Amino acid sequence: MLLRPLRIWWLALALLLGLWWDGQAWSYVGGVTPERQRSRQRRRARWLTQEFLGLGSAFIKLGQLLSARPDVLPAELVEQLATLQDRVPAFPFAVVQDLLEQELGERCAEIIDLESEPLGSASLAQVHRASLRSGRQVVLKVQRPGLERTFRLDLEVMQQVAAAVQRHPRWGRGRDWIGIAQECRRVLLRELDFRLEAEHAARFRQQFLDDPGIRIPAVVWELSTRRVLCLDYVPGIKITDRQALLEAGIVPAAIAEKGAASYLQQLVRFGFFHADPHPGNLAVAADGALIYYDFGMMGQLSSRLRGRLGSMVRAAAGRDAAGLVKELQQAGVIAPGVDPGPVRRLVRVMLEEALTPPFSANVLERLSGDLYDLVYGQPFRLPPELIFVMRALSTFEGVGRSLDSGFSLVAIARPYLLPLMTSSGGGGGANDLFNEISRQAAEVGSRALGIPKRLDDSLARIEQGDLQVQIRAGETDRLLRRLALAQQAAGQSMLLAGLAVAASLLAVSARPALVIIPLLASLPVGLSWIKLQGRLKRDGRIDQLPGVG
């Protein structure tokens, strides 16, 4: 335990130094290119994933949470962390029995035929199949012993690391690392309470009670505690096992459509969704019903975001990029005060790609990549719930393609999104159209009534000499800034070359010790030159955004 904090600090320092090194153009032999950057970042992502797996439970969960923050980590790291699935050796069956007796007491007598071999084992818990005296077939999810102590130690060190990074002049600027660490602490400690997962499972099951095509295990409440979760045993075929599905007489294409439709219902109708629908958490029953497992990571769309969902869909359907960006701002997805220009241009490209048939097979995967590239290093945030939605839809898209080569999530989504095209969420017909026209007329009238006052204020400011006219030519400003930086860098390069020549001449002169003078003089110049290269690279990254330049 004494060495563990040192290992965590070493990992944090190694990651920060690695990210800094990856961002330096001069660190690439043969010159920097986008492909070389991505290749190095992919290696960095694989290394970090292995380190998180080695550190165990808290860091595996931390990695899954950080994978919802593409604003603070490069896209390659985000995508790799999203794949974190822990598979660790099982702990002894005797420990399982002792823990069940501690948690359940006399209620343990209800459990018979508890299988000693676990169905699955992860860093947080392991699952055993059992039978109850009533004949009910169940599974028991039992938490690993001593887990809470390790969690709290790891989370305390994470808080210290976050506070240190926050004080760094570069890494702390524009990012709330302390807030991120506190949010991770809150979420991770909640994961240790299996009663919350039981509530999630019950709520999720309630949403699909009337749908025979979707199956969610029921909670056995009397045998569920803080460290034990008891659910009905619902066996099924792994959703990606196409051959087994065919042998069971199940049409894979129908399962792909059913999975996508169920997820769209979670988003559009309920706002409460499964945030980790990877193939290991999805199965197919013998009668073709889709089964969901593992309810530790669930997402919920905020009432503010859901309230504007219809307006967003209408703007997207009309390919109104400016209108969609405005709705995203009002929903709090884009922080106030942020220049919407780059976002608007990317949204326009995304809408064009997503809504123009024939639909690309991996359109959501590519749009997610575009979104990650946009938000990394920029002064605005995307809510984790939106990232979880994008990731889950991308996952379903991938599963659907593995089952049916002609699968199109965009085409399946249309009937579920059509009701949102009306202002009330569907079914209003002419009344909705009339309400929308009335709303727009009222908005136009309100603006028209405000015109005289705005004109009077402007005339008064002109008379007083207070009126300032600001003209923003973003492209020209950016080119002029880059030109100035390039000239400054060229001047410093010439100065460094002159100092190098002076050092060479002094080295072969009668007094070679004087070579220290130009070498010392070159240090601040060299550091300034490196900083200029970093600024030029950041400006170049902005120019490469869709629609920029």
Taking Cα atoms as reference points, which of 27, 25, 61, 23 lies closest to residue 41? 23
**Residue 284 main-chain phi, psi, to 5 deg:** -125, 125
**Are the C-beta atoms of 75 and 44 separated by less than 8 Å?**
no
- How far apart CA 379 and CA 340 sit, in angstroms, is 11
| Cα angle for residues 395, 401, 407 (degrees, 5° grid) | 110
Which of 154, 241, 276, 373 is flagged as catalytic?
A: 276
C-beta separation of 55 from 7 below 8 A: yes
- Cβ count within 10 A of residue 526: 14
Beta-sheet pairing, 214-215 with 272-274 = unpaired
Check if the beta carbon of residue 345 is closer than 8 Å to that of residue 548. yes
Per DSSP, 379 falls in state S
- 276 is a catalytic site residue: yes
Mention every residue, 6+ apart, whose C-beta is less than 8 A from residue 548.
Answer: 342, 345, 542
To 10 degrees, what angle do helices 409-417 and 363-375 make? 80
Angle at 520 between CA 515 and CA 523, to 5 degrees: 130
DSSP-derived 3-state class of residue 258: helix
Comparing CA positions, the residue from 81, 44, 48 lying closest to residue 66 is 81
Catalytic residues: 276
